[in-house]
């Protein structure tokens, strides 16, 4: 199961069932996809995808204590502020990769 939600706690305490607010999923336009590369995650037009379309990090983000850095770019340093971490220039260039491709294997 999992941890009780606020809606379940309210229902137990008051006898009234509270319904969680449903958020609609954002709809992608036809012919677009979301890139799954770390540091990119942009929605792009599939027809415009090319060998220099995506700027991304090949590694993973590392959050150690207060420090934040990319495993592929240790020379960029460790940062405390998230804004400085997010501003690290991506180290790779290539095609965007549709996140759905990960499930087709």
Q: Over its length of 105 residues, how does the chain's per-residue pLDDT go in tens digits?
A: 555 677 667 677 776 665 556 666 566 678 898 888 988 889 999 999 999 999 999 999 999 888 999 999 888 888 889 899 888 999 999 999 986 554 544
Q: Which of 68, 47, 66, 70 is nearest to 57 (CA)?
A: 70
Query: What contacts 73, CB < 8 A, 6 or more positions away?
Result: 57, 59, 88, 91
Predicted local distance difference test score (pLDDT) of residue 22: 64
Q: How many CA atoms lie within 13 A of 2 on its CB side?
A: 3
Predicted local distance difference test score (pLDDT) of residue 86: 87
């Amino acid at each position: 199961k999992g941890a009780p939600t606020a809606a379940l706690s309210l229902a137990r305490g008051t006898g009234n069932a509270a319904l969680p607010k449903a958020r609609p999923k954002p709809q992608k336009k036809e012919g677009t996809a979301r890139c799954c590369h770390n540091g990119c995650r942009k929605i792009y037009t599939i027809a415009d995808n090319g060998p220099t379309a995506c700027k991304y990090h090949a590694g993973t983000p590392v959050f150690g204590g207060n420090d934040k850095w990319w495993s592929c770019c240790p020379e960029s340093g460790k940062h405390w502020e998230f804004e400085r971490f997010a501003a690290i220039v991506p180290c790779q260039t290539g095609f965007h990769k549709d996140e759905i491709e990960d499930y087709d294997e």
